[in-house]
Amino acid sequence: MAEDESIYYYDPSLGAAILFTILYTPPFLWHLWSVTVAPRTRGYSRTLFYIPMIIGAAFEILGYAVRCASTQNPEDVGLYASSATLIVLAPVFICASLYMLIARLVPSTTDNDPSGQEGAEGEKDQKKLRILWIKPRWLPRLFVGSDIFSLLLQSSGSVIALSNDWEGEEKDIGLAVLITGLVLQVVTVTFFLVIVLTARHRAIAVGKYSLGPKMVIRGVIIAVCLILARSIYRVVEFAEEIPGYIFEHEWLLYVFEALPMWFALLVLAWYHPGRWLVDKVTRNRGDTELAEREV
């Protein structure tokens, strides 16, 4: 095979692709166990909203597994596109679980249980639950909607740029749309981090920063910072001239894409909300021993 037939601008490493296929497997299995088995055997709270995170972790495994095949067939557009798509989609699903988590986390860090209040006091308590004037139930819709729109922009931009093999006017238009989607993703993740930090500040202010919420918020903050670093890397990758330094050096992909997402999954596994947060069903049973797990 001639070297210029390769889709890559470098000689892709099979070893690195195999390594990350293996590395992503333990956090995937841990998240799967925490959602499906641990609520029945270890007293974890039910966290079905973490199913997208399981899907995201599975996409990471599949993405790098397909990349293994792609390194051996660097001229195959289908393998390259499949691997890249799975790796790009994975953070979207992981973030979706975090966006749904914050709607459950805010009430537990602001007031005891305002849902049972009525009249003026009930309305006052409901206002306490708002973060930056946003009701908790609207937070997942806002962030997930923004992430989906960002993904659509990225996909559209890629299709437009590829329509003329990343050349000519189509390349410029496609890159502009793609970068807009990536910047929107950075803005979304940044705003989400602001929401989480605000919730943390509010929890401390009202004296509700107990062990459970404290541990979960800590994990979310660390993970979101890692995801934000990864998202900024993607913006820089496409903002520079193609092919540029990033496109021509594979190590940047693993340092700024693969490693941050892997660490984020590990952190979120340790600070899993099923382990640390109160479960309403458990609380209603009066089983307070399993309501909030301690270190």
pLDDT tens figures, 139-195? 888 999 999 999 899 888 888 877 766 677 888 888 899 899 999 999 999 999 998
Q: How confident is the model at residue 60 (pLDDT cuts 50, 70, 90)?
A: very high
| Burial state string for 78-115 with b = 16 or more CB within 10 A and e = fewer than 16 | ebbebbbebbbbbbbbbbbbbbbbbbbbbbbbbbeebe
pLDDT tens figures, 245-259? 999 999 999 999 999
Are the CB atoms for 221 and 192 separated by under 8 Å?
no
Answer with the residue of higher pLDDT: 202 or 112.
202
- Quick one: which of 96, 223, 88 has its CA closest to 147? 96
pTM (predicted TM-score): 0.85
Least confident of 21-25, 33-37, 137-141, 259-263: 137-141
pLDDT tens figures, 109-136? 655 444 444 444 444 444 554 555 677 7
Q: What is the pLDDT at residue 7?
A: 87
